[in-house]
């Protein structure tokens, strides 16, 4: 048995074990805990996949040449949007359980009455369906068109993609803001932050970058990206470093503004996360999401070092998962919850995602061979 088939068999076994864990959580755990886990993995998969599609659109928007040889990798990762959107549709079941604004009693709450229509179950569900339809349209145009270009070698797609990229950026801004406010901030509707959408965007872009870097390094190990060199890896490392700093800036700015204003409706959000077991997780999040990747990538040589980039990419994906957990799980009573329901969900969604991406990596060409700028990208030098 080859190593590849052995890994696939292992992942399928883990997927089955995780499915049993998810089923047991549905039957035995509280509805709040089940849906909190479901919501965690929906937001995590959706943001990583959407971050990957953002990378694809960004290349077309700025007419980047250096990234053309590796563009097929974020295109493949972005196909995770298909199961992520399905997971999001099922997550609508969490609305009446976890989201106070969707319940009839919200009309009697002074803080929520004015937002009652926006937070209502039908309107939130409608916005979710619209958001999923928009990103799947973007996936069809940018990724479907790129795969078709491999066969037709038609350079017209490159022009169409450049024209569509600005529209997709507007779609991306709309969707990531909806996810931030509807699916995360909506858990505590009395609290709000004007920059929360930007905060989630930074995490999504980092997640997409980290997944792209890991997949690029994996394909290079299999000698499937022979034209991709250290210069390409350096740019990936540079983006990871830059947006690590950007995420940290937005996170600290959000905290600092609320600490300075000291308004009761705002500080309760951070008070919950700075007491008990959540305080330790807050410190851990700062270390994993900023301190460690910052110092790991701060030097020029580190950004192009494949071995170091692989470790940082794994760290960033773990940090992004912890970030989403830190955003969602404090709504449950008590301290942090890490037990068999969380393990079951992790085994199921991680193994499913890895199997999906492994399958996507085996389909089509490893580089966009129909792109007229591929050769220029392969010749890229810093």
For the stretch 231-257, pLDDT in tens is 999 999 999 999 999 999 999 999 998
d(CA 66, CA 244): 21
CB 132 within 8 A of CB 42: no
d(CA 88, CA 372): 37
Only one residue has tokens 């955003």, namely 327
Residue of 160, 304, 172, 191 lying closest to 254 (CA atoms)? 191
Phi, psi values for residue 336, rounded to 5°: -60, 140
d(CA 87, CA 219): 28
| Eight-state DSSP code of residue 333 | S
Let me know the angle formed at the C-alpha of 58 by 145 and 124, rounded to the nearest 5 degrees.
85
| Eight-state DSSP code of residue 366 | S
Let me know the angle formed at the C-alpha of 361 by 180 and 43, rounded to the nearest 5 degrees.
15
Alpha helices per DSSP H over the chain: 3-28, 31-62, 72-78, 81-90, 95-98, 110-113, 116-119, 121-139, 145-152, 156-178, 196-221, 230-261, 264-273, 277-286, 292-297, 300-303, 306-328, 340-361, 374-378
Q: How does pLDDT run along the chain (382 residues), one tens digit per residue?
A: 456 778 889 999 999 999 999 999 999 999 999 999 999 999 999 999 999 999 999 999 999 999 999 999 999 999 999 999 999 999 999 999 999 988 887 777 777 888 888 889 999 999 999 999 999 999 999 999 999 999 999 999 999 999 999 999 999 999 999 999 999 999 998 888 889 999 999 999 999 999 999 999 999 999 999 899 999 999 999 999 999 999 999 999 999 989 988 888 788 889 999 999 999 999 999 999 999 999 999 999 999 999 999 999 999 999 999 999 999 999 999 889 999 999 999 999 999 999 999 999 998 899 999 999 999 999 998 8
CB-neighbour burial class of residue 26 (10 A; exposed 0-12, middle 13-18, buried 19+): middle
Structure tokens of 142? 């940018």
Only one residue has tokens 């229509």, namely 117
Residue of 66, 380, 378, 55 lying closest to 240 (CA atoms)? 55
Give the other-Cβ count within 10 Å of 185's Cβ: 18
Give the other-Cβ count within 10 Å of 231's Cβ: 12
d(CA 297, CA 289): 12
d(CA 85, CA 81): 6
d(CA 265, CA 182): 18
């Amino acid at each position: 048995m080859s190593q590849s088939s052995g890994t696939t068999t292992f992942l399928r076994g883990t997927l089955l074990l995780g499915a049993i864990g998810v089923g047991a959580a549905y039957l035995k755990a509280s509805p709040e805990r089940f849906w909190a886990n479901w919501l965690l993995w929906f937001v995590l998969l959706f943001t990583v996949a959407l971050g990957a599609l953002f990378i694809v659109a960004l290349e077309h928007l700025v007419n980047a040449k250096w990234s053309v040889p590796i563009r097929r990798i974020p295109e493949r990762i972005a196909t995770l949007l298909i199961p992520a959107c399905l997971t999001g549709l099922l997550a609508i079941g969490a609305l009446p359980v976890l989201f106070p604004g969707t319940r009839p009693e919200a009309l009697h709450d002074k803080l929520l009455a004015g937002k009652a229509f926006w937070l209502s179950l039908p309107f939130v569900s409608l916005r979710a369906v619209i958001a999923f339809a928009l990103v799947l349209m973007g996936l069809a145009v940018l990724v479907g068109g790129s795969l078709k270009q491999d066969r037709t070698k038609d350079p017209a797609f490159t022009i169409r993609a450049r024209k569509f990229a600005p529209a997709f950026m507007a779609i991306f801004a709309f969707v990531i803001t909806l996810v931030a406010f509807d699916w995360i901030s909506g858990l505590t509707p009395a609290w709000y932050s004007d920059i929360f959408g930007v905060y989630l965007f930074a995490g999504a872009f980092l997640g997409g970058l980290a997944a792209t870097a890991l997949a690029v390094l994996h394909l290079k190990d299999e000698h499937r990206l022979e034209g991709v060199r250290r210069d390409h890896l350096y740019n990936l490392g540079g983006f990871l470093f830059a947006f690590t700093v950007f995420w940290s800036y937005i996170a600290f700015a959000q905290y600092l503004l609320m600490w300075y204003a000291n308004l009761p409706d705002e500080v309760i959000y951070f008070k919950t996360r700075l007491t008990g077991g959540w305080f330790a997780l807050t410190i851990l999040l700062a270390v994993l999401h900023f301190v460690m990747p910052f110092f790991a990538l701060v030097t020029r040589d580190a950004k192009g070092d494949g071995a170091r980039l692989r470790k940082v990419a794994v760290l960033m994906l773990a940090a992004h998962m912890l970030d989403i957990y830190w955003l969602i799980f404090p709504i449950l009573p008590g301290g942090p919850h890490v037990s068999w329901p969380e393990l079951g969900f992790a085994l199921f969604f991680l193994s499913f995602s890895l199997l999906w991406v492994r399958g996507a990596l085996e389909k089509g060409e490893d580089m966009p061979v129909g792109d007229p700028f591929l050769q220029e990208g392969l010749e890229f030098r810093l």
